[in-house]
Amino acid sequence: MPRPDVTLQDIRAAQARIGKCVLRTPVLESALLNAVCGARLYFKCENLQHTGAFKARGASNAVLARSASELQAGVVTHSSGNHGAAVARAAQLRGVPARVVMPHNSSAAKLAAVRAYGGQITLCAPTLAAREAAAAQIVADTHALFIHPYDDPDVIAGQGTLALEFLEQIPQLQWLLCPIGGGGLASGIAVAVHGLRPEVRLVAVEPASADDAFRSFETGVLAPPVPTHTIADGLRGALSARTFGFIRQHLHAIVTVDEQAIVQAMRELWQHLRIIVEPSSAVPYAALAGRKLDVDDAHVGIVLTGGNVDIDELPW
């Protein structure tokens, strides 16, 4: 397993680097949702971030940290949507082209977002292997720089800036919950929180139908990627050896939620916070509403990772 290669100092450096191109997103509360869950909940609204998702943090850091010579041929990535839009935006800020490999069943909203920031889209089969193969071919053809969606120290450090911000806004946090797919966000949060507030309990939440992180965490052995079928398209990625290392070291637990609970959580967040979040964002609240964790009377932070959904295809 690789030696951890992201530190609190790296995350602080990322915060300084990207400060002018990402937003300090607000934290929302709801007395009704507090009552449902029996705790004091704080929702960190990355759905209001540039590009509509937390991915703007990691992508911006990864692109801004590179030299002009490294970016001469532009950048390449693969993504279900949010990371692709974030990379396209960051590349646009640096004045270089961005090529994004996306599954052919990506949502219309996410495809439109990538194109809006000038990203050149290549469609592929909806599997991780197909995404990786298509991206590797583009790198071979163009010599552009590959920016991995999560298995990249600069991406992880950028995502960790979210936790620095959250702890500044709500210093009394006792728990912090986030979704988990490939593990880049969970890794960055874990490093930041462990460095600043190691007593905070960190929990990642995952769809039961895409539970490789849960199985890896429970067995201590990195589970291989398998085909997944979940409404939470942003959580279909599989952990890397790097992200698994951070998660094993710093997370307290990983829990899973079913598809019905995810949809219900989206609905409740709309009803009580008056915001639309994508399914991937709703999984942590779904775990709390389903009493998957004993957080009675605690101060609980929840990361709402994104809000890029097709309004005409909301699942209710």
pLDDT in tens, 50-62: 999 999 999 999 9
What's domain 56-146's architecture?
3-Layer(aba) Sandwich (3.40)
Number of residues that this document lists for the chain: 316
What three-state secondary structure class fits 102?
Answer: strand
**Across residues 7-26, what is the average pLDDT?**
98
- Are 54 and 159 in contact by the 8 Å Cβ rule? The answer is yes
Confidence of residue 311 (pLDDT cuts 50, 70, 90): confident
Residues 254-269 as b or e (16 or more Cβ within 10 Å = b):
bbbbebebbbbbbebb
The average confidence (pLDDT) of the chain is 95
Give 286 or 5, the one with higher predicted confidence.
286
pLDDT at 5: 87
SS3 state of residue 33: helix
Q: Are 186 and 247 spatial neighbours (Cβ–Cβ below 8 Å)?
A: yes
At residue 1, the pLDDT reads 41
pLDDT at 3 over 60: no
User: What pairs with residue 304 in β-bridges?
Assistant: 45
Side-chain-side CA neighbours of residue 66 (13 Å) = 28
Into which CATH architecture does domain 8-54+153-313 fall? 3-Layer(aba) Sandwich (3.40)
* CB-based contact 8:196 (threshold 8 Å): yes
What mean pLDDT comes out for the span 133-148?
A: 97
Residue 119 burial by CB count (10 A; 0-12/13-18/19+): exposed, middle or buried?
buried
Q: What is residue 2's predicted lDDT score, i.e. its pLDDT? A: 44
CA dist., res. 191 & res. 12, Å (int):
11
Alpha helices in 124-258 (DSSP H): 128-142, 153-169, 184-196, 212-219, 241-250
DSSP state letter for 4: P
Q: What is the 3-state secondary structure (H, E, C) of 237-281?
A: CCCCHHHHHHHHHHCCEEEEECHHHHHHHHHHHHHHHCCCCCHHH
DSSP element (H, E) containing 178: strand 175-179
The pLDDT tens digits of the residues spanning 111-128 come to: 999 999 999 999 999 888
CATH 3.40.50.1100 domain residues, the chain:
8-54+153-313, 56-146
CA–CA distance, 242 with 40 (Å, rounded to integer): 33
Give Rg (Cα) of the chain.
Answer: 18
